[in-house]
A and B are shown apart, each in its own frame.
Chain A
Amino acid sequence: MSFQEKNITVSLVNFILILGFYLISLFLMIQGESFNSTNVFRLWGIIIVIAVVVTIFATIITHIVSAIIQAIKTKEEPHIENISDERDKLIDLRGTKVTNFVSSIGSFFSMLTFVFGQPPLVMFTLLIFFGVVAQIIGDIFRLRLYRRGF
């Protein structure tokens, strides 16, 4: 598995966990009848902080661990191929295109809730949901391109 594939896998696992955490927190909020703007915006903050901080740390830790495993296996200094070539850039570009597309559709559906007379809270809840889902779909698309060759 290449450097880029590892990065994407870490990001994918991270965002799936974030989505799970988000849905469980929302479910508990609705169950406990505490679905209000203060709690929803707090959850927004938590999700964004986790997405940024955990992704960075998880990527670093994954590379350290995989380098250690590689060094133990081969008994040589690990060779980390961290260059990004034209194919990596094209795959990233295609993945970003998919992420943006899903995100735009999600934003549209989130705005649509206003048409049906829903409060802004529903729109904000859906907005971050689609944001995370878009990232997951984009990562799956990138991984598929890497597995296929392009």
Chain B
Amino acid sequence: MDKYRIKNNIRTLRFFKDEMTQQQLADKVGVTRQTIIATEKGKYSPSLELAFRIALVFDVPLEEVFSYDFEDETK
């Protein structure tokens, strides 16, 4: 089976949302800052509900925040 992984643009979206801090995003979606850090780094894949809440905060469709891409192992 091909190796796919969930990638995200949270860091970029935060930057364009008046440089929103991780703590501010965490407070808005109701999780801890550590969860936002882990999600941003791609270490933790959030639940569908949290993913939708994050997309709602940035006012963009879900696929603009998260994508399911083939993992390039040469990187």
Residues of A within 8 A of B (CB): 2-3, 81, 83, 85-88, 146, 148-150
A-B contacts, 29 listed (Cβ < 8 Å): A2-B32, A2-B34, A3-B32, A81-B32, A81-B33, A83-B30, A83-B31, A83-B32, A85-B30, A85-B31, A85-B32, A86-B31, A86-B35, A86-B46, A87-B31, A87-B34, A87-B46, A88-B32, A88-B35, A146-B34, A148-B43, A149-B37, A149-B38, A149-B41, A149-B43, A149-B44, A150-B38, A150-B43, A150-B44
- How many residues on B have C-beta within 8 angstroms of the other chain's C-beta atoms? 14
Given A149-B37, A149-B38, A150-B38, answer yes or no on A87-B30 (Cβ-Cβ < 8 Å). no
Residues of B within 8 A of A (CB): 30-35, 37-38, 41, 43-44, 46-47, 50
Chain B residues contacting A149 (CB-CB under 8 Å) are 37-38, 41, 43-44
Chain A residues contacting B33 (CB-CB under 8 Å) are 81
B53 to chain A, nearest CB (A): 11
Bound together, the chains give a CA A127 to CA B74 distance in angstroms of: 49
Given A149-B41, A149-B44, A150-B43, answer yes or no on A86-B34 (Cβ-Cβ < 8 Å). no
| Minimum CB distance partner of A2 in chain B | B34
List the 5 shortest-distance A-B pairs measured between CB atoms, nearest first. Answer: A149-B43, A149-B38, A85-B31, A150-B44, A87-B35
